[in-house]
Structure 1
Amino acid sequence: MVTGDAGGDAAEIEHRVLVDLRLWGKERDLGRRYPAIFHLVDTAAVAAALWDDMVAPGLREDIAAELGLSVAAAGRTVQFWAALHDIGKLTPHFQCQLELPAGYPTPGHETPAHDRAAHLWLASALAEYGYPGGRRPLARLIAEVLGAHHGRFHRIDPGDLLPAKLPFLGLGTGPWEEQRRATSEVLAEILRPAVPTASLSRSSAMVVAGLVILADWLASQTRYIKTRLDAVPVAGTLAAVRAFHAGSASAAPGLVAAAGLTRLRLRPGSFAEEFPDFWPNALQASLAEHLPSAVTGPGLLMIAAPTGFGKTEAALFSARVLGAAAGRPGIYVALPTTATADQMFARVARYLSRRGVGDVSQALLHGMAWLSPVDEMIAKAVSADGVSGDRETRARFPEWMRGRKRGLLAGVGIGTIDQALLAVLPTRHNALRMFALAGKTVVIDEVHAFGPYMRSLLVTLLSWLGELRIPVVLLSATLPAHVAAELAAAYRGSAAPGELTDPVVSYPGWTYVQRDTPPISHAVSFPAEQRRTLLVERRPIAVGDDGELDRISVLTREFGDLAAEGGCAAVICTTVAQAQQTYDGLLSWRATVPASQRPDVVLLHSRFPVWQREAITTRVTTGLGRDGVRPDRLILVSTQVIEQSLDLDLDFLVSDLAPVELLLQRAGRLHRHPSRDAGRPPWASAVGGEPRRMVVLTAPEGDLTRIPGAWSYIYPAAALIRADRLLAEREASGIVVPDDVQELVDRGNPGDFPAHQDPLLVGFEKAETERSADVMVEQQFAHNRQIPQPRRLTRLADLSVGDMPPEDHAATRFNADSVRVLPCYEDVDRELRLGGPNGETLPTPDSQGQLARAELIAVMRHTIPVSGHLVAGRGDDHALPPPWRDIWPLGDLVLLRQPVDETGRISPARIGERTFLLDAERGLVEVGEG
C-alpha cells in the first residue's frame, strides 16, 4: 500500500504527487487528454455500482463464497480488478500514439497491445498482494480476465508471465514500471480491496470478465467522460485522486440506471394473482401447488404439454419462483424464430406491466430487432392489458441497450435462442453474454425443434448454466425421453445421462432437476373435456404429367365442404416454392367456386419482404387467434413458419409428411381454443367438438421409396418413414391427445444412434444409417465450433480460439447461411426503387454519407432472408452502389436488380444461373423453381 511504501505521515502522503497525469487513457472526441488514472477510477466506480445495483444477488454470493470473502469485501475486490483493466496503457506502445511526455524512454522494440500488456504485467503484480497460488494461481487467472476486456482472452506462454521476463517484452522499465506500480498502489489505497483466501472457478472468472467489459464500456462513453473533465485535478496526488473517485462514485449509479442496468423486481404471489384473467388449468395448478416447495436452489424445469395449454404463463410463473430461489431475478425467453420472438414480446410486456416493480428494462433480441418499434409494442401491449398510465411500473427499452451486444443485459429479454447460444461460441465478447445470462432464469421454448447441431450447442450451454447456478425452464410440446435425459445430464454436469436417475417427463407434466438430487416429476391428469381425438388421414400426393407434385387434386376434394359451409383451414408445405405453387393452384380452383362460396386464400412464408410478412402474420393471427373476428372462409397456405408459437386456431389442416413430432405440433393448431368450438361448421367437428381431423400428404401411391426429394432434403428420410408408418398404425383409431403423444414421439425419435433395429424401418435400414451419419456430422461440426464445457476448460484462452468470426457470421444453426436480399426495381434512368416500379427511390445519404435511422429501417423493411446458396453466384453488381454500400447494414445486402422498361414490363433479377422476381402476392419467386 502507499502508506507502507512511501514513508512519512498520512497528511504528507495524501498530498504527494504519485501518478503522472500526462499519461493518458482516453483522447478521441474529447479535445484533450484524459489521464489514464481517472479512466481507471471511473471504471472502478461503475463496477461498484453494477455490483450493488445490477449484479444478481445469487451471483454475488457465489463469487464471494468462491473467493472466501463477504459479499461487500468481494465487491471491493472486483472493483479493484476492474480498475486495473487498462494498466497496460501505461506502456510505451500505447502512449506513443500521441507525443510521449518528457522523461519516458521510447521502446527499443514494439510492445504488446495494451490489453495483452495488462495480462502480462498483472500476473506477477497481483501475486504480490498475497493471492492464493498453487496449481491454479488466482493472480494469473485474474490477469487473464483483465486482459480480455476487449472481448478476447489471450493465449500467452506461461514463461512470459514471470517477472524477470517482463523487461524483455517491451512493457518499459524505469518510469514506466514506476507509474504502473504507483497507479496500482493508489487504486488499492482508495478502493481497499480484500485479499481472497481461495481461488475463483474458471466459469465464474468468465462472468467477472463480462462485468469488467461492461464497466469499461459504460465508463468509456464520451458523453460521460466530458462531464468529468472539469473535475480533473492539476496534480496526481493521492488526495486529488481520492476526491476524483468520490465524484465518480457519486455519478456511477445514475449512469448505470440511465443505461437500464437495474435489477428486475417482480411482485410475489400465487398463480391466480399473477394471471387473474383465467383459472389455472391442470398443468398450471400443479406447478403452482408443488414447484415452490420443490425448489431449494438453482435447477432445471422441463415442462411438456400440448400446444395451447398455457405453457407461456406456466413458464413465467416458474421463472419467478426459480429466480427468487436462486437469486437470479432476471428473465430471458429464448424462442426458435424472430417471428415467434416478436409475438412473445408483447405477452411478456403485459405480464411485466402487472407484476413488475419500478422501472423494468425489456429488450427484443434478434438479428432484425432494431427494425421493430419496441416502444410502440410495449405501449400497445400495456394499453391492451388495461393498465393505467399512473402505475409505478414502467417497462422500457433504453437507448443505450439498443447498441450491438447490449440488449441481453436488460432485466428481461425476449429473443431467439441464437442470442443465448452465442455465449458458447468463440465469438468476441462471449463473456459479456455469459455475464448477462448469469443474472437470469433462462426460458427456452420449442426445445423439440432443435436439430443435432443446435442440440449439441444447447447441451454445452446447459452445462455452463448449471455450473453457474442459473435456473432454466425448458418448454416443449413433443420432447423425446432420450433428449430430456441428455439435457438434464448436461445441466447437472454429469459425464453421462445415467449418473443420476434419468428424469421422466410425463406428458403432460413437468420434471424439476437440481444438480445433486434426484429429479422430481409430476404427471398432470387431463380433464376429460380437454382430451381430444385426432383423426389423421394419409393421402398419397399425386404427380402431374410434368413430374411436379400435384396437391391440388387432393385439396380441391378436401376443401369442398369449406367452400359450401364455411370454415378456416391451412395447408403446410415443405418448401417455399411448393407453397407458392399450391397458392396458385388454389386461386385457380377458387375461380371455379360460386362467388358467394369463395374462400379467401392467404399465402405466408419466409420470402416476403419484412413489412409484408408482418402484415400477413398480423392478419392471420388476429383472425385465427383466440379473440379476433373470424373469417367466414379462409385457407392459409404456408410453410413451417406457422408450426411454432403462433396463436392460430384452425378447423382443418392439410400437411406434407414431416417427422411425427412436427406433425403433432402442427396438429396443435386444430381446435386450439375451445371457446371457438361452438362456431365451427358441422363438417369440421362432431358433436361436442370431437374429433379433430388432419390430412397428411404422403409419398406418391404410398410408396415410401418415392418420397419427394425436396421433403427428404429438409427432413431425414428415416424420420419421414417412421412418421408415415406410425400414422398408418393409428389411421383407424385416431390419436388421443395427450395420452398417445409421448409414445409416438419416442418411437419417432429413438435416439441419435438406436441400439436395436427399429421395426418401423424394416426395409429401409439404409435410411437409418444415413440419418445416423448426418447426426454425427452435425455433432462433430458443433464440437469443432463451440467452447469447452466448464469442467473441460483448462484456461480462459480456450474461450477465444480460432478466428473469432463476427457474431453476425457465427454458426448458431447448421448450414444456415442466411443472407438478406433487397429486391429493387431499376428504371430506364438506372434509379433504384423500392416496393414497385413507381415506388420510392433509395433515400439519399446526408453530407456525412449516412442515413437517418428511420431511413435505414425503411430500406431494411423491404429485405428478404434467403439461403446463401441461392445467391452463391453474386458479384459486384449485386451489391448496392456507392454510397449506400458503405452504410451499415446496407453493405451486407444482396441487391436484386429487376429492370423495368419504358412500357412498365418487369424483368427478373439474375444471379448466376438463377432468376428471381418479387411478386406482389407470392413474395420472392425463383423463376423456374420446382
Structure 2
Amino acid sequence: MPPEKQQSLLTFWGKAHPASEVPAHPLAYHALDVAAVTQCLLSSDPARCSALARALGVAESDCVRLLGALAALHDVGKVSLPFQGKAPEHRPAVLSDYPELVDPGHDTAAWLWFVHLAPRDLKDRLAPTGALNRMLPAAFGHHGRPPGQDRTTPRRARDHFPPESVQAANTLVEWVLARLGPTDPLHISTDAAKRAALAVAGLIATSDWIGSAQRWFAYTRPDHDLDTYWYDIACPRAEQAVRASGVVPAPPAGLRPFHALASLPEGSATPLQHWAETVALPAEEPILCLLEDLTGSGKTEAALMLAHRIMAAGRAGGLYLALPTQATANAMFDRLGELYRGLFKRETTPSIALAHGDRGMHPGFRAATLPANQDERAYGDETAETVADVPAGAQCAAWVADDRRLAFLADIGAGTVDQALLSVLPARHAGLRRWGLLGKVLILDEIHAYDAYVGEEIAALIEAHAALGGHTVLLSATLPTSLRDQLTNAFRRGAGVAQSPQEAAARPEALRPYPAGTVLCRTGEDAQSIAAWSRQARRLPVRTLATPEQALSEAETSARDGQAVLVLRNTVDEATAAYDALRDRGLSPLLFHARFALGDRLTIEAEVMRRFGRHSQAEDRSGAILVATQVVEQSLDVDFDALFTDLAPIDLLIQRAGRLWRHARRGRPGREELVVVTPAAIPDPNESWIGAVLPGTAAVYRNHGVLWRTARLLEAEGALDLPDRARALIESVYGQSAPTPEALLRSSSEAEGQAMAGRAKARAEILPLSSGYADTHHWEPDHRIRTRDADDPVTLRLGRWQDSVIQPWIDPDPKVDRTTAMAWQLSQVSWNLKRLARTAWEEPDPALARAVAEARKTWGRWERDLPLVVLRPTGKDGWTGEARDDKGQPLAIRYCPQRGLSLT
C-alpha cells in the first residue's frame, strides 16, 4: 500500500474532545483500537467465542478474524463529508471545497457506503453478500439500533462520500482485509448471520465503549503507519484495557459434588438436587432443563448445580437468574451469594451484579464495571444530533448507570425477567443484552407466574438463546401442560429440532411424573420422576371464609395469640385497605406491595426477611402481621404460622401454601391450615359470583371459570395433598375437560380471547430471529418498551422539594457508595395506570420548572424524559405531588413510605 494513501486516511479524524493535549484521534487508529478490543474480548472469553463460531458455522479462529474485521469497519461512515464537518478544526484539507450537508448519522452513512460504494473485495473476501447484508448492520449499528437501510439513493451516497472520502474508506478496507480478515472467504449462510447479528452488535458496542476510553486509548498523533499502530500500540493497549474493564469472565471452578458446592454436610441434598448432580447431560448441543417440584425442595440450588456442571465443562462462562419481581430477585441474590462463589476458581474474583437495588458486595466478588464518560459531548450541533452520534462514552455512562443493565456484563447476574426480555424486544442496545446472555446459563424461576403476553416473550427468549447454543433451566412448582408445551417447543425451534412422534404421543398429562426433572436436547426428551422419599408427604387442611372482613378478624386473633400472620390480598388497593383496617384495630402490620419507591421497597424487603425469613427469631415473629400482594408468592423464603389469602387459581394457591409452616420450628403457635376467602362454589353461580365478594380478584384473574373450579376443588378436597396430587389438582382446574358454569362462560371466553390477543400483541413486538438486526421496529429506550400486557407501565421518579431544590426521594449516601444517580434510580416507582402520562410534562411554576431542569441534568441521557413527581410534606407520614393524565390535566398523588403511592 503506498504510504501516501495511508497518510491521506490518517487526516480523517474519528474522536475529538480529548482528555490530553492531543486534539483528535485519527479515525483509522480508533478503528484499529476497537478491532483489537474485539479480538481480545473473543480470545479471552472461550464460551462466547465458541457460541458465536458455532452459530455462524465457522472455526473459532475464523470467527475472531471475521468479527475483528467487522469491528474495524464499525465507524467507516465517519469518513463521510457530513461527519467530518462536525469538527471544522479537524476537517481534512482534501474536503475543504465541499459544502456542508445534513448528517444522517454515521451509522446510516456507513450503510449507504456499503451498498453503493464499497469495493468488491470486501464482499468477495469476507463472506457471501447475503451474510454481509446481515452482519455489517450489526457493526454499523453499534449505537443501540440498526442503521437506516435505504437502498434507493446512490446519488445521496456520492454526495456524502466525495472521491477523497471513498479513497479513505477503501484504504482502510484494503488494510483490514490484508491484516485482519480471514485467510479465505467464509461460507456463512444468511440464516446463520441473522441468528448471530444482534449478539455481534452487542459485542462491537462493548468493544467501541472500551476502545473509546481515553484512560487506555489516549489520543495519538498520526505519526505511525497502520502496521506499527496495530502491532505496537492498539494490540497492547487492548490487552490491558480488556483485563481492566471488568467484562472478562472469571474461570469456572472444576467439577465438585453438590455438598461441596453448597457448603453442606454430605448426603444433605434433596432428591431434586441429587438428580441435578447426577443426571446425564448431553454434550456439544444446547440443553433445556425443566425442574418441577414444590416450594422448599431446593429448585434454585439444583439449577445452580446444573449451571455449575455446564460451566465446569467449559460450555458456559456465567449465568443470569431471572425472577418475576424485584423482591424475588433481591431475596434470591442474598440467599445464594455464597453458593454463587463456588462456581468459580477460588483464586479469582468473579463479577456479580444484582439487577435491582442498593446492594453491598458479597465477599470474594467484585462489581461488574465498564468504562464510562458521562461528560463526553456530542460533535457539532447537539440539538440536531442522531443517536449514532452520541459519543460512546456518554452512551456507556447512560447504559451502565443502571444496575439492571450492568447485570448482563457480570459473571453472575440476578434480576427480573423483564430485563432479559428486552434482549428480544426493540429496546435500544438490545444487542448488549443478547451479547451479555451469550455463553451464559439462563435460569428462569417461577416460570408459571406470567400471563400469556409475557409467556410469549419468554418463549421467544428461550428460542433466541437456544439458537445461539445457550442452555436454559426452567423452574416451577406448578406448570400447566399448555405452558410446558409452549416453552419446550420454543426451545426445539431455537435448537433446530422437531418433536418426535413418540414424544408428541407421550400424553396424557396425568401420566407425567411429579416431582420431575426433564432434560431436553436435539436428540430428544428425557423426563424422570424425582423421588420424594426424603420429604414427608404433606396434607395441608384448607378452610374457607366468606368475606375479607372475617379473614381480618381471624388474622387479628391469630396475631394476638402470638402467631406470625400473612394476609395476602390480590390488589394493591385491597392490601392497603386491609393494612389500614388492621391499624384501626390497634395492630402494627407491615405492608408490602409493588407500588413503593425502590429504596423504600428494599427497606421493607429487609424487614420482611428479618421478621419472617428462614432465620427469623421467635421474639420478632410473635404477633407480627404482614399484609402483602403477590410479591410474596414466589421465591421469597418466608415462613408464617397463619395464612389468610384471597381466592386465586389453584397453581397460585399451591405457591402461597409454600409460605405456611415452611420451616421446622419448635413450639410453633397455631395450627397448620390454609384459610382462603372465597364465595361458595355453588352449581349455578351468576356473573357476579366472584366480583360481589372479591372485586379486585375478579379484575386480576379474568377467567372466572378457573376461579370457580378452584373453589369447587377446595370444597371437595378439604386439603391439599402435596406433592402426591399436585399434578392432578392442577389438571382438574386447567384440563380441557374441566367444567364451567354457564354464567361464567362469558368471562372464561373473554379471558381466553384476551390471552390469545396478548400472545398476538407480544409477537408483533418481538424481534424475530428471521429478521436479524434490521431496521424494522422503533428502537426505543428501555423505559418506553412494554414487557407486560397491563396498562402501559409508567416509571415515575419521586423528588422532594426542599429549600428551592429538588432532591431525590432516597438520599444519596457516600458511606454506602450511593451516588446521586443511584439515589434517583432508587427513587423510581412503576405504576400501571392507563390514564397517567408516560412522558415528562411542563411545570407551570417557573421556579419549580427551573428546579426540575436542574435535577434532570444529573440524569442519564436516555432518562431525561421520565416524569418527575415533586413531593411536598402534608402531614406526619404523607407527601403529595402532582402528575398529569394523558390529556395533560393534573392528578394529585400521595406518597407515604409505609403505604406507598396512591391517587388522592
In the alignment, which of 503, 513, 526 is matched to residue 501 of structure 1?
503
Give the match for residue 568 of structure 2.
572
CA distance, structure 2, for counterparts of residue 35 and residue 645 of structure 1: 52
Written as runs of structure 1 = structure 2, the 5 A alignment for 1:625-640 is 625-630=613-618, 631-640=621-630
1:560 equivalent to 2:557? Answer yes
The whole-number CA distance in structure 1 between the counterparts of 2:44 and 2:17 is 30
CA contact (8 A) 1:146 1:212 kept: yes
Query: 1:729 corresponds to which residue?
Result: 716
Cα distance, 1:668–1:222 mapped onto 2, change above 3 Å: same
Give the aligned partner of residue 394 of structure 2.
Answer: none
Amino acid at match of 2:709: R
Task: Return the alpha-carbon distance in structure 1 between the equivalents of residues 198 and 518 of structure 2.
Answer: 30
- Which amino acid is 2:517 matched to? W
Q: Confirm or deny that 1:881 pairs with 2:869.
A: no
Tell me which of 396, 416, 439 is aligned to 2:367: 396
Instruction: State yes or no: 1:584 paired with 2:580.
Output: yes
Which residue identity lines up with residue 514 of structure 2 in the other structure? Answer: Y
What is residue 44 of structure 2 aligned with on the other side? 53
Q: Which amino acid aligns with 1:892?
A: L
Deviation, 1:580, is: 2.1
Q: Residues 441 and 906 of structure 1: is their aligned pair in 2 closer, same or farther, counting only changes over 3 Å?
A: closer
SS of alignment partner, residue 728 of structure 1: helix
| Residue 926 (structure 1) shift | 4.0
**Secondary structure at the counterpart of residue 10 of structure 2:** coil
Mapped pair 1:535 → 2:541? yes
- Contact 2:801/2:870, CA 8 A, preserved across alignment: no
In the alignment of these two chains, the number of paired residues is 829
Q: Which residue of 2 aligns with 1:662?
A: 652
Q: Which residue does the alignment assign to 1:387?
A: none
For 1:147 and 1:109, the matched residues in 2 are separated by: 20
Is structure 2 residue 491 aligned with structure 1 residue 491?
yes
Counterparts of 1:593-604 in structure 2, within 5 Å, are: 601-604=589-592
Shift of 1:694: 0.6
CA distance in 1, matches of 2:874, 2:50: 66
Correspondence for 1:270: 257
Partner of 1:796: 773
User: Which of 625, 636, 640 is the matching residue for 1:650?
Assistant: 640
1:156 corresponds in structure 2 to 149
**TM-score, normalising length from structure 2?**
0.84
Superposition map of 1:369-388 within 5 A: 369=356, 372-373=358-359, 376=360, 378-379=361-362, 382=363
Matches within 5 A, 1:215-614: 215-226=207-218, 228-229=219-220, 232-234=221-223, 237-238=225-226, 241-267=227-253, 268-278=255-265, 279-292=268-281, 294=282, 297-325=285-313, 327-357=315-345, 358-366=347-355, 369=356, 372-373=358-359, 376=360, 378-379=361-362, 382=363, 394-398=365-369, 400=371, 402-403=400-401, 405-493=405-493, 501-502=503-504, 506-514=513-521, 516-527=522-533, 529-541=535-547, 551-557=548-554, 559-560=556-557, 562-564=559-561, 566-589=562-585, 591=586, 601-614=589-602
Do 2:465 and 2:471's aligned partners in 1 also have CA atoms closer than 8 Å?
yes
Other-structure match for 2:788 = 813
**Cα distance, 1:530 vs structure 2:** 2.4
The answer to whether the 8 Å contact 1:67/1:196 transfers is: no
In 1, Cα distance between equivalents of 2:812 and 2:225: 54
CA distance in 2, matches of 1:528, 1:345: 27
Cα deviation digits, residues 88-116 of structure 1 (max 9, x gap): 21121211223333333526965753212
Query: What is the one-letter code of the residue matched to 1:288?
Result: E
Q: 2:699 aligns with which of 690, 713, 721?
A: 713
2:705 maps to a residue whose letter is: A
Matched letter for residue 458 of structure 2: L
Mapped partners of 1:925, 1:567: distance in 2: 30
The letter of the residue matching 1:883 is A
Cα deviation, 1:530-565, whole Å, max 9, x if unaligned, reads 211111112111xxxxxxxxx23343246535523x
Question: Is 2:99 the counterpart of 1:103?
Answer: no
Contact 1:43 1:216 in 2 (8 A): yes
Q: How many angstroms does 1:472 deviate by?
A: 0.3
User: CA, structure 1 residues 643+126, in 2 after alignment: closer, same or farther (shift >3 Å)?
Assistant: farther
In structure 2, the CA distance between the partners of 1:532 and 1:258, relative to structure 1 (3 Å rule), is same
Over 3 Å counting, the alpha-carbon distance change for 1:70 and 1:917 in structure 2 is closer
Task: Decide whether aligned partners of structure 1 residues 220 and 914 sit closer, same or farther in structure 2, where only a CA change above 3 A counts.
Answer: closer
Separation of aligned partners in 1, 2:602 and 2:256? 36
- Residue by residue, what CA displacement relative to the aligned partner does 1:771-824 show, whole Å, maximum 9, x if unpaired? 111112211211221111x2xx15531xx4232221111111112533355667
Tell me the SS of whatever aligns to 2:93: coil
Q: Is the Cα–Cα contact under 8 Å of residues 607 and 866 in structure 1 kept in the other structure?
A: yes
C-alpha displacement of 1:398: 2.7
CA deviation digits over 1:115-166, x for unaligned, max 9? 1232233357464256489986333333333222222223535566xxxx47
Aligned-residue offset at 1:169: 3.8
Query: How far did 1:173 drift?
Result: 3.9
Tell me the SS of whatever aligns to 2:228: helix
d(CA) in 1 for partners of 2:471, 2:611: 37
- In the TM superposition, what whole-angstrom CA distance separates every residue of 1:67-97 from its partner, at most 9, and x where no partner exists? 6653223312221121111112112121122
Q: CA deviation at 1:699?
A: 3.0
Match of 2:380 in 1: none
| Cα offsets for 1:567-615 (capped at 9, x unmatched) | 21211011222222222322343x4xxxxxxx75322223344443323
Q: 1:285 is paired with a residue of what secondary structure?
A: helix
CA change 1:171–1:482 in 2 (3 A) is same
Residue 442 of structure 1 aligns to a residue in which SS? strand
1:779 matched residue in structure 2: 759
Deviations 1:501-555 (CA, angstroms, capped at 9, x unpaired): 25876321110111x22201111121265211111112111xxxxxxxxx23343
Question: Match for 1:198: what amino acid?
Answer: H
Following superposition, the deviation at residue 724 of structure 1 comes to: 1.6
Unaligned runs of 5+ in 1: 7-12, 383-392, 542-550, 592-598, 685-691, 845-851
State the TM-score, normalized to the length of structure 1.
0.82
**Percent of residue pairs bearing the same amino acid type:** 27
Structure whose CA Rg is larger: 1
CA distances 1:3-40 after superposition (whole Å, capped 9, x unpaired)? xxx6xxxxxx7x98554322101112456121111001
Is 1:149–1:213's contact at 8 Å kept on the other side of the alignment?
yes
Asked whether the 8 Å contact 1:486–1:497 carries over to 2, the reply is no
Q: Given residue 209 of structure 1, which amino acid in structure 2 is its aligned partner?
A: A
2:107 to 104, 110, 115: 115
Give the match's secondary structure for 2:215: helix
Moved more, 145-154 or 118-127: 118-127
What is the aligned counterpart of 2:603 among 615, 620, 634? 615
- In the alignment, the residues of structure 1 paired with residue 486 and residue 264 of structure 2 have an alpha-carbon distance, to the nearest angstrom, of 37
**Which has the larger displacement, 444-453 or 17-26?**
17-26
2-structure distance, mates of 1:832, 1:167: 48
Query: Residues of 2 paired with 1:284 and 1:853: CA distance?
Result: 38
The 2-side partners of 1:74 and 1:843 are apart by 45
* Structure 1 residues 252-298: Cα deviation after superposition (integer angstroms, max 9, x where no partner): 12211222111232212111221122510111112212244x55532
Mapped contact 2:77–2:113 kept (Cα < 8 A): yes
Report how far residue 626 of structure 1 moved.
1.7
The corresponding residue for 2:384 is none
Q: Offset at 1:471?
A: 0.2
Residue 199 of structure 2 contacts residue 431 of structure 2 at CA under 8 Å; is this kept in 1?
Answer: yes
Structure 1 pair 131/742, CA: closer, same or farther in 2 (3 Å)?
Answer: farther
